[in-house]
Amino acid sequence: MKILVCVSKTPDTTSKISFTADGTKFNDAGITYIMNPYDEWYALVRACELVEKNGGTVTLINVGGPQNDQTIRKGLAIGATDAVRIDADPNSSLFIAKQIAEYAKEQHYDIIFCGKESIDYNGSEVGGMVAEFLDLPFISFASKLEITGSTATLNRDIEGGVEILEVETPFVVSAAKDMAEQRIPNMMGIMKAKSKPFVVVPPVDFPDLAVPVKYVLPKEKTGVRLVSPDNMEELVRLLHEEAKVI
């Protein structure tokens, strides 16, 4: 089984977000970067489990600059077989997906994994884009994936429930919580990662069609209004008359 896992690098979940004074760029002073949790905990770990059970390879792919190498090495330490970095400084999801699709099209992967979304741009777009470029089925927000021969059975999270479906390889899937359990890389994994194949390839030309041009922080709450626990009628009144939400 030949698997590709798309990973991105994002600020840690506890990061305090701020921007440059003119609001055009993310201010990364003091920010710790991590591998996007959905990519790491669910997509990558499930891909490794499938290969451990059925044999095969897991290739990690990232579109980014050399500052991402540490994150990619972590993925190798968790269990990926090898890694590819497309050497670019991407500004849009369509650009990223195009790079991944161009690399993947000659490789004939059985499964291409993404996380359900990145926790920075929250677009949830790259998986579908890659699938469309490669003319493959795409199953989004999968919380379970089992495979027998070339048939995969997946649970897809939908509003208020779950859809169970089958698809033949090859396909693209985006992984949500419950697909796997987070793995902490061990010493052996970290040592092995150092000698695993890791190639850097140049990007193909592709225009950005939608880019963020300005960032603002949401309005701060003006401060909580405390209501006495003995006076829930007052809370109801405030919600009705002041907040107008009931």
Partner 1 sequence: MVLVFAEAVNGHLKKAAFEAVTYGSQTAQLLGSQCVALTLGNVENAGQLGIYGASKVYNVAGSNLANFDSQVFTSVIAQAAEKLGATVVVISHTSTGKSLLGRLAARLNAGSVAGAKSLPDISGGGFKVTKGVYSGKAIATYEISSPIKLISLGGNEIPLQSTGNEVAIETLELTVPASRTKVIEVKRQEGIVPLPEAVTVVSAGRGMKGPENWGIVEDLAKVMGATTACSRPVADADWRPHHEHVGQTGVAIRPNLYVAIGISGAIQHLAGVNQSKVIVVINKDPEAPFFKAADYGVVGDLFDVVPRLTEAMRKFKAS
Half-sphere exposure of 24 (CA within 13 A, CB side): 2
170 near ligand FAD, rule: CB under 6 A = no
Question: Pattern 18-57, binding to ligand FAD, x per CB under 6 A?
Answer: -------------------x--------------------
Q: What is the rounded CA–CA span in Å between residue 36 and residue 148?
A: 28
Which residues in the 206-225 window bind partner 1 by CB under 8 A?
Answer: 208-218, 221, 224-225
Which residues contact residue 225 at a Cβ distance below 8 angstroms, ignoring those fewer than 6 apart? 238
Q: Which bin fits 149, alpha (ψ -120 to 50), beta or left (φ > 0)? A: left
| 63 belongs to the binding site for partner 1 (CB under 8 A) | no
> Does residue 13 touch ligand FAD according to CB under 6 A?
yes
Identify the residue among 88, 120, 147, 190 touching partner 1 (CB under 8 A): 120
CA dihedral 12, 90, 183, 70 (to 10 degrees): -80
Going by their DSSP bridges, the two strands 198-201 and 82-87 should be labelled as parallel
Instruction: By CB under 8 A, name the one of 163, 186, 194, 204 that touches partner 1.
Output: 163
Among 59, 75, 156, 193, contact with partner 1 (rule: CB under 8 A): 156
Residues engaged in binding ligand FAD (CB under 6 A): 13, 37
